[in-house]
Amino acid sequence: MAQKITRRDFLKTTAAGIGGVGLSVGSQMVPLPLAAEEQVGADGTLRLSACIEMIFRDRPFVERMALVAKCGLPAIEFWSWRDKDFDGIIAKKKETDLQVSAFCVDPGTRLTLPRFKDAFVSGVEGTIEALKKLDVKTMIVTVGNEIPRTPREEQHQSVVDCLKAAAPLAEKAGITLVVEPLNTLIDHGGYYLWSSKEGFDILREVGSPNVKLLYDIYHQQIMEGNLIANITKNIDLIGHFHVGDVPGRHEPGTGEINYLNVFKAIAKSGYKGYIGLEFVPSKSGEESLKHVKELAQQAEAL
């Protein structure tokens, strides 16, 4: 079985900050007409995106794309963009006709600290250039850890201010920033934004159609539960999903979450974006992806 990992390791390795852009791409900003989820369509079909940081980990990174395509999924996603072979990904994307649904802005910046606002905006600007190179419309944002002995309302306001400052860049480029709450009980102790409720409050304060939530069903089952009600009530503020079951963070159907009902609710909600499969397969990657694809098709038919 694949070794269990979370983005904690990924975030730790890049915690030194964001610095300058490490990828050479075109300097001209070309506005795109529509936000990320508007590019996908709304026909009730659940579009699955395999996170190849966690699936097919025994294979070279770029080769994982062909395996995802062989399983019949339309898209892949990953975490950091700085350490990736972009030329190889571009070539494999053309070969397989896969989409890249999302990847992360430079991590390591604490949006909970006002002094990081300029660095965050710079990181968003540079990551937009990387997104354009792969025709990606969704940028994943994590906010960083809670600041000890600092009132949460001050940290909340700092997150809002950072996102407000970056929102015009996203709007101009036609991409969507998706802010991700993470669980603090198992995988991300000390992380500030653990509640989807506070996440939605932040987005309403930011007030941009290009800044939304990444609703990770695994994390929110651990922290809040009440999944279907929270999803359907706030679907207009959700720009991306991640899935994994509880406990163990394996594929849907291995734990306590009734994913058939959750997928059915998402399919009927009018959601237009991707559902990222960010889990550790309990079987082979092929078997796990086949199972989730079949589960999504069952949900669509209900």
Q: Give the pLDDT band (50/70/90) at residue 278.
A: very high
Ordered by start, the domain boundaries in the chain are 7-21+28-301
Query: Tokens at residue 3, please?
Result: 């070794």
Q: How far apart are CA 63 and CA 7, in angstroms?
A: 21
Determine the pLDDT at residue 42.
46
Q: How far apart are CA 112 and CA 144, in angstroms?
A: 7
| Contact residues for 60 (Cβ-Cβ < 8 A; gap 6+) | none
Q: How far apart are CA 274 and CA 268, in angstroms?
A: 14
What would the pLDDT profile of 114-166 be if each residue is shown by its tens digit?
999 999 999 999 999 999 999 999 999 999 999 999 999 999 999 999 999 99
Kindly tell me if the per-residue pLDDT of 3 is higher than 70: no
Nearest to 184 by CA among 144, 229, 134: 144
Share of the chain above pLDDT 70, in %: 85
Report CA-CA distances (Å) from 262 to 121, 212, 241.
34, 20, 11
Phi, then psi, of 271 in degrees rounded to 5: -60, 135
Cα 138-22-173 angle, rounded to 5 deg: 30
Kindly tell me if the per-residue pLDDT of 20 is higher than 70: no
This prediction has a pTM of 0.86
| Contact residues for 223 (Cβ-Cβ < 8 A; gap 6+) | 181, 183, 184, 185, 194, 195, 196
Strand extents, DSSP E, 171-244: 176-179, 211-216, 238-243
Q: How far apart are CA 299 and CA 150, in angstroms?
A: 44
274 with 240: CB under 8 angstroms? yes
What would the pLDDT profile of 86-109 be if each residue is shown by its tens digit?
999 999 999 999 999 999 997 667
Kindly tell me if the per-residue pLDDT of 6 is higher than 70: no
Q: How far apart are CA 39 and CA 268, in angstroms?
A: 18
Sign of the torsion angle spanned by Cα atoms 269, 273, 279, 282: positive
47 with 75: CB under 8 angstroms? yes
pLDDT-wise least confident of 8-12, 34-38, 76-80, 187-191: 34-38
Axis crossing angle, helix 285-301 with helix 63-70, rounded to the nearest 10:
40
If one looks up domain 7-21+28-301 in CATH, what number appears? 3.20.20.150
Report CA-CA distances (Å) from 60 to 65, 91, 93.
10, 15, 15
Q: How far apart are CA 183 and CA 218, in angstroms?
A: 8
Q: Which residue has the tokens 């354009």?
A: 132
| Contact residues for 164 (Cβ-Cβ < 8 A; gap 6+) | 206, 207, 208
Other C-beta atoms lying within 10 Å of the C-beta of residue 33: 7
Kindly tell me if the per-residue pLDDT of 197 is higher than 60: yes
What would the pLDDT profile of 21-52 be if each residue is shown by its tens digit?
333 333 333 333 334 344 344 456 899 999 99
Determine the pLDDT at residue 67.
98
Q: How far apart are CA 56 and CA 140, in angstroms?
A: 21
